[in-house]
Structure 1
Amino acid sequence: MPDSVMYGSARAPAPAVAAALDSVAARGGFFALRVGGPDDGWHPLADSYARGFTDLAHRVAARYDTGELRIGVSIAHLGHAARLWSPVLACTLLHGIVPDLTELQRADDGPALRLPRPAGWYADRLPDATAVLGDQVMGHLHALAAGLDIKVAPRLLDGNAGSALAEAGRALLDLDPALRDRLTDLTTRLLATGRLAGTGRLTSPDLDFRRRSCCLYYRTPTGAKCGDCCLAD
């Protein structure tokens, strides 16, 4: 993740960051990232990562009636990636602020996310806002992957990150079609960086995506495939 001192001159005031995140959260779904409030009921995401996201993986596996825990890990990872990408993309494009996710926390009883204190940078004051944005999300996903004690293919997890990015982009586009050009440009650039490179490709102006790996959802008892699955017809 970016060095806070290195980008100190680009820091946005806490009230501006809080207002941007609150505005984005009002859109609902994966855009909701709580800011401030009581500390009870929350824990640092680093703790969840160190425990291998085990609690969420087991819950997901039970929900989909599968004993194959790597499926639970993959689907929990995919959902977490969407919860990271969605507010960061929206804040950057709608308010010109890249949120700082360094202190991100998770609810004790579920996947909801919270920042105890608002922090972030003005995108137009960063030397490379796309890189900083990507580092904020991928830094968390790298930490999650490093803590897993259930074997899941690294490129499957990278594919999840790319898929979640595209899905977050589509959701934002549905809410604000005027963002199409900027959103397509930002998503395309992100998909060409780091471990996101080669995870898949955008297939339409609506940010439809075809990934090159599978999230394993097809191995649940339903046997269904996701819309961007590499196994889909």
Structure 2
Amino acid sequence: MNSGPGAADEAPVDEIVEALRGVAQLGGFFALGTVRGPGSGGGHLTWEGFSARARTVNERLATAETRIGVSIAHLGLAARLWSPVLACALVHGIVPVMTTVEWADDGSSLRLAGPRGSRAPRSAAALADAVAAQADGVLQRVESHLPARVAPRLLAGNSASALVGSAAQLLRLRPGLRGPLTELTRDLLETGRLRGTGRITGPELSFRRRSCCLYYRVPNGSTCGDCCLVR
């Protein structure tokens, strides 16, 4: 999968910035700020930054089990990557290049340094590949330096859960996108490591994953709505 646009399909920077500004108005995880220069994070989601956020999750959930904080922080990061990429692709026809995404502050918000992007491919398969490369591809690079060992299928399940959760939220906000959004989401669930992570269970993009994010292990925790442990 390519990490950036080719010269023929590259979108102007102003259009990319406007597209991201537009989808940010959807709120929540769709917000992705931009910095015209190289930014302050060296163009990367650093492992130190992720580790700090995982520790914060552990403290907030009052659990000492490191892999729980890692999994929950990873799930949140996945949602912040999938949401703006999905929305930009379907609402504005632009796939932003996420390789220069960085932490925006001491919280979990993200911003894109030196924004670049490409026109969304017309082929369904090519679009799925392009979107996956800029969301799940960046997420996998973060996973190469996690502060605790977490099962690869759990991480893939987190990514799939975040993908479908982002798609379901976009569907609620933009119901007119139902057809292309449902098609793209299904295609993405058959792309790369997301294949076999779960299945869509309803027209509103409800989902049942085949792994668990470990939230049930925190004090007073419970299973999530898409968890494989739900009966």
Q: Is the 8 A contact 1:44 1:106 kept in 2?
A: no
1:185 and 1:175 mapped to 2: Cα distance? 17
Aligned partner of 1:22 in structure 2 is 21
Aligned partner of 2:2 in structure 1 is 2
Aligned partner of 1:34 in structure 2 is 33
2:213 and 2:77 mapped to 1: Cα distance? 13
1:214 and 1:45 mapped to 2: Cα distance? 31
Secondary structure of the corresponding residue to residue 232 of structure 1: coil
Q: 1:44 to 1:105 in 2, by over 3 A?
A: farther
The structural deviation recorded for 1:45 is: 6.0
Secondary structure of the corresponding residue to residue 135 of structure 1: helix
2:24 and 2:112 mapped to 1: Cα distance? 12
The structural deviation recorded for 1:4 is: 3.6
2:13 and 2:212 mapped to 1: Cα distance? 39
Question: Per-residue displacement from partner, 1:154-177 (whole Å, max 9, x unpaired)?
Answer: 100000000000000011001011
Gaps of 5+ in 2: none
Aligned partner of 2:217 in structure 1 is 219
Aligned partner of 2:184 in structure 1 is 186
1:66 to 63, 67, 77: 63
Q: Is the 8 A contact 1:52 1:147 kept in 2?
A: no
Secondary structure of the corresponding residue to residue 210 of structure 1: strand
1:79 to 76, 81, 86: 76
Give the letter for the 1:192 counterpart: E
2:229 and 2:175 mapped to 1: Cα distance? 30
Aligned partner of 2:106 in structure 1 is 109
Secondary structure of the corresponding residue to residue 205 of structure 1: coil
Q: 1:82 to 1:47 in 2, by over 3 A?
A: closer
Runs of 4+ aligned structure 1 residues displaced above 6 Å come to 37-40
Aligned partner of 1:92 in structure 2 is 89
2:122 and 2:168 mapped to 1: Cα distance? 26
Question: Per-residue displacement from partner, 1:188-219 (whole Å, max 9, x unpaired)?
Answer: 00000110000000000100000000000000
- Identical amino acids, percent of aligned pairs: 50
Q: Is the 8 A contact 1:15 1:118 kept in 2?
A: no
1:44 and 1:56 mapped to 2: Cα distance? 18
Q: 1:37 to 1:8 in 2, by over 3 A?
A: closer
Secondary structure of the corresponding residue to residue 35 of structure 1: strand
Q: Is the 8 A contact 2:44 2:100 kept in 1?
A: no
Secondary structure of the corresponding residue to residue 53 of structure 1: helix
1:211 and 1:125 mapped to 2: Cα distance? 29
Q: 1:117 to 1:39 in 2, by over 3 A?
A: closer
Q: Is the 8 A contact 2:209 2:226 kept in 1?
A: yes
Aligned partner of 2:207 in structure 1 is 209
Scaled by the length of structure 2, the TM-score of the pair is 0.93
Q: 1:39 to 1:124 in 2, by over 3 A?
A: closer
Gaps of 5+ in 1: none
Secondary structure of the corresponding residue to residue 144 of structure 2: helix
